[in-house]
Amino acid sequence: MRFFVVIAVCCFITISGYSQQNGRGTVKAAHAYKYEDLSIQLDGSLDESVWQDIAHWTGEFYQYFPSDTSFANAQTKVKIVYDDKFLYVAAIMYNLEDRDEYVSTSLRRDYRGDQNDGVSFVFDTFNDNTNAFLFGVNPYGVQRESLIANGGAERTDLNLAWDNKWYSAAKIYDNYWVVELAIPFSTLRYKDNASEWNANFYRIDSKYNERSSWARIPRNFSLISVAFTHKIYFSEPLRKYGANISLIPYAAAGQSRNKLEGTRNPIRPSFGGDAKLGVGPALNLDLTVNPDFSQVEVDEQVTNLDRFEIFFPERRQFFLENADLFADFGTPTLRPFFSRRIGVDRDESTGQNVQNQILFGGRLSGKITDDWRVGLMNMQTANDDEKGISGKNFSVAAVQKKVFARSNIGVIMINRESLNTASESGLFDTSDYNRLLGIDYNLASGDNRWTGKFFYHKSFDAQSAGNSGALHGQLNYNDLHVTASVSYSDIGESFDPKVGFAPRNDYKRIASSFAYQFFPVSDLINRHGPGIESENLWNETYGNTDELYTLFYDLQFQSQSILRFSMNRRYTYLFSPFDPTRTQGEPLASDTGYGNNFWGFRYVGNPRMPLFFTLIGQKGEYFTGNINSLQGIMNWRIGYIANISMNFSYNNIVLPKPQNSANLILAGPRIDLTLSKDLFITTFFQYNNQINNININTRLQWRYAPVSDLFIVYTENYFPSTFASKQRALVMKLSYWLNI
């Protein structure tokens, strides 16, 4: 019955979303003309005749920040041409005065952050105002490329893990700088014979503290929002020429030593790689054999004061491309599919989670028509007899259909099977499986004011009994002055997505928020305003289990720094014993409830400054005692040569006996050095007294060819009191990107 209620609500919201007008505003377009065999040298000089021709340049960029009511002060103009193989883009970024210094945090590819000067080009090649390609270049010629998903509503929708080959150059002049791009059509996915794309271009300028875009974007929305675009019209329909095939082999070798267990692994070479094959104009097949992720940065540790599992984002390259097709089902706190479950298993001898080798896998993803997207994935892990691990097969299938202006409906199916290690016949163990079937509706109105998420998921396994479903509905409103949200969730007691992220089950939840923004005429404050948030959880067994009420006031300054003050009331019911400090102290008893009041603040400094801070503080009641908490990040930028940061967290928890009081300290200095455009060294230290550990991770990266790297990674863990080593490892990895 609940499923049909959700479908009825979805249909109503769909009609509402369809009635909204598209948010593009004033109609403006760019015209791209085709030339035969263009010979353009990418040097930032723009001395070719095609650029010298004053026709078909487009400009008139609008200001996005600090205001959205005027044209940009520092203007930009763009021109696009193409031949059979490449899309060429030229852009001129004008300054208000002579200038030869710009902000670049590093010369490493895939820069991000509001402090970086740069220009970005967004191409919505299927005209769906939902998914797009982004290519960006800064004044020093550093590239970044990304996939935009979910309409670019949030910064997290920008996936910089996507890599591909394309070419660019930048050059700085007295009062402007220039960028030239050549993007192979084989790099892009688009409909054969397409005659138009949606597009937008935007620029970030640190000196003038200005962000601007070609299509006008209201400042209450994200700068990468694909809801606000204009058209590029091509003089001749675009054709697909040749196949897009890339091979990315690797060779690696490493050794490790575990002094806690008295074991040592000698140098072991390994080989494997990935392949990328274009299947038709808009589908991509990715294959991997014996993938190696040794170059991936270590997770940033956190102090865990919660009763539940902490979410760590996926960092492995293979799982990040087109990740939205699989990973965006559900909500951030309730995902039916979480790729970090693949390649991790339980060591039956210790009870600890350990890495489990991935043998091979494949993924087919992309568009099959203008309105349909599909994603299919299969991954196989290995048996490990020494640790008592049976190999697992993971299969995921997702289908998504665009409906009306920018909304979509999707279905996901997930299956995890364990290999049968017994002697009897049968490939899989019929008593050890986990499956899930789900349907999601994602609302996005044409003008981006209304968004929402509605889904029903159900898990299946051999042991499940009772309600194994998860129901959720959420509706958001975002206008210039008002943002509001309301949601309801009903998670069954037997809901268990073993390939997903669900820290808890057996609860019902209602959450809501409302905020209002003022935009004063001020040289100091850009916007400010109050807001309120609430969250309530309950179930039939324990009744009310969790409450959180927050009253806050936000200020954003013209410098781009942000400040929030909050007052909070929290109620927590413990349905199992819990040690609030996680220091092996006497736990609080189960079946007890605690109401606490506390206040907090959050400050994000001016990112354009060489030295800036992010600080988060909390003070007040904590279960039976009190807490004083301060955490944040210090960032110090020395040109683009060095970035030095310090992550820190201090929690002073005072509890009456017999519970433990504690001073929990976590510190993580990080040094990121740019030796050249192709050579980088990153060193990350992490001290955590909650787990009694010091971790050092040093990574050297040499990009010796386009998208091809040599990595040398050293990792070691120590006891803080004696600096005695626990474990250490050294890995070398060489990869090469070959286009066929």
Q: pLDDT (tens digit, 9 = 90+) per residue, 653-668?
A: 999 999 999 999 999 9
pLDDT of residue 15: 43
pLDDT of residue 16: 42
pLDDT of residue 432: 86
pLDDT of residue 1: 44
Q: pLDDT (tens digit, 9 = 90+) per residue, 500-521?
A: 999 999 999 999 999 999 999 9
pLDDT band at 100 (very low <50, low <70, confident <90, very high): confident
**Cβ pair 66, 72 in contact under 8 A:** no
Mean pLDDT over 276-283 rounds to 81
How big is the chain, counted in residues?
740
**Does the pLDDT of residue 106 top 90, yes or no?**
no
**Cβ pair 305, 295 in contact under 8 A:** no
Q: How far apart are CA 419 and CA 416, in angstroms?
A: 10
pLDDT band at 318 (very low <50, low <70, confident <90, very high): confident
Q: pLDDT (tens digit, 9 = 90+) per residue, 21-48?
A: 444 444 789 999 999 878 899 999 999 9
**Does the pLDDT of residue 374 top 90, yes or no?**
yes
pLDDT of residue 19: 39
Mean pLDDT over 439-448 rounds to 93
Mean pLDDT over 355-360 rounds to 90
Mean pLDDT over 523-529 rounds to 96
Amino acid sitting at position 267: I
Q: pLDDT (tens digit, 9 = 90+) per residue, 572-628?
A: 999 899 999 888 889 999 999 999 999 999 999 998 889 999 999 999 999 999 999
Q: pLDDT (tens digit, 9 = 90+) per residue, 731-740?
A: 999 999 998 8
Q: pLDDT (tens digit, 9 = 90+) per residue, 687-728?
A: 998 888 999 999 999 999 988 999 999 999 999 988 899 999
- The residue that leads in pLDDT, 7 or 679, is 679
Record the tokens describing residue 255, joined without a space.
């050794």
35-238: CATH topology is Immunoglobulin-like (2.60.40)
pLDDT of residue 419: 86
pLDDT of residue 241: 65
DSSP collapsed to 3 states, 320-355: HCCCHHHHCCCECCEECCCHHHCCEEECCCCCCEEE
Q: How far apart are CA 614 and CA 612, in angstroms?
A: 7
* For the chain, domain boundaries: 35-238
pLDDT of residue 351: 65
**Does the pLDDT of residue 677 top 70, yes or no?**
yes
Count of alpha carbons within 13 angstroms of residue 157, beta-carbon side: 18
Mean pLDDT of the chain: 89
Record the tokens describing residue 51, joined without a space.
């650029």
- Is the bond preceding 66 in cis, omega lying within 30 degrees of 0? yes
Mean pLDDT over 273-300 rounds to 83
CA-only gyration radius of the chain, Å: 27
pLDDT band at 210 (very low <50, low <70, confident <90, very high): very high
pLDDT of residue 350: 66
Q: pLDDT (tens digit, 9 = 90+) per residue, 533-584?
A: 999 999 999 999 999 999 999 999 999 999 999 999 999 999 899 999 888 8
Pairing of strands 662-674, 158-159: unpaired
Residue 251: CB partners within 8 Å, gap ≥ 6?
269, 270, 271, 733, 734
Q: pLDDT (tens digit, 9 = 90+) per residue, 141-193?
A: 999 999 898 888 887 778 787 788 899 999 999 999 999 999 999 888 888 88
Residue 596: how many other CB atoms lie within 10 Å: 17
- In degrees and rounded to multiples of 5, residue 134 shows phi and psi of -130, 135
pLDDT of residue 306: 77
Residue 347: CB partners within 8 Å, gap ≥ 6?
353, 354, 387, 388, 389
Could you identify the residue written with the tokens 């050249």? 676
pLDDT of residue 63: 96
- The residue that leads in pLDDT, 307 or 399, is 399
**Does the pLDDT of residue 629 top 90, yes or no?**
yes
**Does the pLDDT of residue 14 top 90, yes or no?**
no
User: What DSSP line would sit under 470-482, residue for residue?
Assistant: EEEEEEEEE-SSE
pTM: 0.86
Q: How far apart are CA 595 and CA 589, in angstroms?
A: 15
**Does the pLDDT of residue 5 top 70, yes or no?**
no
**Cβ pair 671, 659 in contact under 8 A:** no
pLDDT band at 367 (very low <50, low <70, confident <90, very high): confident
